[in-house]
Structure 1
Amino acid sequence: MLLEVLELSKSYGAQKVLDGVSFSLERGELVALMGASGCGKSTLAKCIARLEPFNGGQVLYEQQDILQMEEKPFRQVLQYIFQDQLTALNPSKKVKDLLGSVCRRFKTHALLNEALEFAKLSPKLLERYPRELSGGERQRLGIARAMLVCPEVLLLDETTSALDKKLKHEIMQVARTYQQEKQITMLFITHDEALARGYCERFLRLDGGMLL
C-alpha cells in the first residue's frame, strides 16, 4: 500500500468528527471520497495532509508514520489543494512569484513550463495577481503549484465545488491527465457523485464521520 489510514479519529471538544476511519490507496489510483456537506470529508483530508491534528489512529506512507516525517520530505510526497484558491494564494504576489517560490524550494525550475502546459495556463498569466484570474484559472494554478513539487499523492479537496459544470470537467480533465501520465495517487474529495463517477476508479463514502 502507498498510503494507509488506520482507525483515524478526530474530535472538536465533545463533537466527534471522524470515528475510526480506515482505508488504503494504491500507487496510481484515482479515488473519490464522497459524502454530504459537513460529513467530515475535508477534515479527513486535512488530517491526512498534516494540516490538522487528529486524536487517534495513524496515517502511513509506505508503512512510515507521516507524523515522523520531516516537513519538506512529507510535502514532496503529498500535496493538498484547497477548495478556495483565492484564500489559499498570497494576494500580494503575482503568479510568477507564487510558482517561483515553489520552484526555488524544491529546485524544480525546469518543470515550470510543463506544469503550465498540464494546467492549461497561458504564460501571460504569470504577470497577473490571483484576484485577476477567473475561478477556473485559480483552481488550475493551485494544481500547477502542486505539480511543481512532483508529489506521489495529491488531495483535491472540493476543488470543483464553486465552479459551473463546464469548468468542473475542465479541472477534472487536467487533474486526471496529470495523474495518469505521472502515475500518481489522487484522492478527489467531493459531494458531486456524478462528477466523481465520471472520472474516478474507486469510491469511498463518508457519513457521520464513518466510512460506509
Structure 2
Amino acid sequence: MLLEVLELSKSYGTQKVLERVNFGLKRGELVALMGPSGCGKSTLAKCIARLEPFSGGQVLYEQQDILQMEQKPFRQALQYVFQDQLNALNPAKKVRDLLGSVCRRFQTHALLNEALEFAKLSPKLLGRYPRELSGGERQRLGIARAMLVCPEILLLDETTSALDKKLKHEVMQVARTYQQEKQTTILFITHDQALAKEYCERVMQLKGGHLL
C-alpha cells in the first residue's frame, strides 16, 4: 500500500468524530470517500494531510509514519486541495504569483506549462486575480498548484460541490487524466454519488465516524 490509515481516531473534547478508521490506498488509484454531512470526511482528509492533529492511530506513507516526516518531503508526497479556493488562494496575488511561489519552493518551474495544460487553464489567466476567475477555473487552479509539486497522493476535498454539473465533470476529467498519466493516487471526498460512480475505481462510505 502507498498509504495506510491504521486505527485513526479524532475527538474534539468529548465528541468523537472518527473512531478507529482503517483503510489503504494503492498507487495510481482514484478512490471516493462518501458519507452524510458532518460524518467526518473532511476531518479525516485533514488528518491525513497533517492539517489537523489526530487523537489516536497512525497514517503511514510507504510504511513511514507521516508524523515523522519532514515538512517539505511530506508536502512533495501528498497535496490537499481545499473545497473553497476563493478562501484558500491569496486574493492579493495574481495567478502567476500563486503558481510561481510553488515553483520556487519545489524547483518545478519547468512543469508550469504542463500543469496549466493538464488543468485546462489558459496562460492568459496568469495575469488575473482569483476573484476574476470562474468557480471552475479556481478549482482547476487549486489542482494545478498541487500538480506543480508532483505529489504521489492528491486529496480533493469536495472540490466539485459548489459547481454546476458541467463544471463538476470538467474538474473530474482534469483529475482523472492527471491520475492516469502520472499514476497519482487520488482520494476524492464527495457527496455526489453519480460522480463517484463514473470516475472512481471504488467507493468508501463513512458514517458516524466509522468506515462501513
TM-score, length-scaled by structure 2? 1.00
The within-5 A match list for 1:126-137 is 126-137=126-137
- Are positions 1:196 and 2:200 aligned together? no
Question: Residue by residue, what CA displacement relative to the aligned partner does 1:79-137 show, whole Å, maximum 9, x if unpaired?
Answer: 00000000000000000000000000000000000000000000000000000000000
Question: Residue by residue, what CA displacement relative to the aligned partner does 1:135-168 show, whole Å, maximum 9, x if unpaired?
Answer: 0000000000000000000000000000000000
- How far apart, in 2, do the equivalents of 1:39 and 1:193 lie? 16
Q: 3-state SS of the aligned residue for 2:105?
A: helix
Q: 3-state SS of the aligned residue for 2:179?
A: helix
- How far apart, in 2, do the equivalents of 1:36 and 1:120 lie? 31
Q: 3-state SS of the aligned residue for 2:24?
A: strand
User: Which residue in the other structure is 1:21 paired with?
Assistant: 21
User: Which residue in the other structure is 1:61 paired with?
Assistant: 61
User: Which residue in the other structure is 1:186 paired with?
Assistant: 186
Give the unaligned 5+ runs of structure 1.
Answer: none
Q: Percent identity?
A: 87
- How far apart, in 1, do the equivalents of 2:13 and 2:197 lie? 35
Q: 3-state SS of the aligned residue for 2:27?
A: coil
Q: 3-state SS of the aligned residue for 2:160?
A: coil
Letter of the aligned partner of 1:155 in structure 2?
L
Question: Residue by residue, what CA displacement relative to the aligned partner does 1:19-47 show, whole Å, maximum 9, x if unpaired?
Answer: 00000000010000011111100000000
Aligned length: 212
Letter of the aligned partner of 1:2 in structure 2?
L
TM-score, length-scaled by structure 1? 1.00
User: Which residue in the other structure is 1:89 paired with?
Assistant: 89
- Are positions 1:166 and 2:166 aligned together? yes
Q: Moved runs in structure 1, 4+ residues, more than 3 A? A: none
- Alpha-carbon shift at residue 181 of structure 1 (Å): 0.3
Question: Residue by residue, what CA displacement relative to the aligned partner does 1:159-184 show, whole Å, maximum 9, x if unpaired?
Answer: 00000000000000000000000001
**CA RMSD of the aligned region, Å?**
0.4
Give the unaligned 5+ runs of structure 2.
Answer: none
User: Which residue in the other structure is 1:52 paired with?
Assistant: 52
